[in-house]
Amino acid sequence: LRDFLLVYNRMTELCFRHCVCNLNYRLLTGREESCLDSCAARLVRANHRLMGAYVGLMPALLQRRAAEHGA
């Protein structure tokens, strides 16, 4: 849960800094909303790809560690 919250907070901050230019208004402009949507989507896709690679590599890493501890 902690890792999820760290990723979420970092993603939120990155997209906010990249997309929101004017803090004088309460609501986002259409351009800012569109930018935030695409920014979040890109980061979510990248995170899914990274997690998929991690899940794919994890069994081999655990097996190697177990072999090292057994030797």
Domain hosting 59: range is 1-69
Q: Which CATH number does the domain housing residue 20 bear?
A: 1.10.287.810
Model's pTM, two decimal places?
A: 0.70
Look over the chain and give the mean of its residue pLDDT values, rounded to a whole number: 90
Contact 15, 36 (CB under 8 A): yes
Q: How many domains does the chain have?
A: 1
The whole-number pLDDT of residue 69 equals 87
The whole-number pLDDT of residue 45 equals 94
Contact 39, 15 (CB under 8 A): yes
State how far the Cα of 49 lies from the Cα of 35, in Å rounded to an integer. Answer: 21
Q: 25-59, pLDDT tens digit by residue?
A: 999 999 999 999 999 999 999 989 988 888 888 88
Mean pLDDT for 5-17 is 93
> Does the pLDDT at position 15 exceed 90?
yes
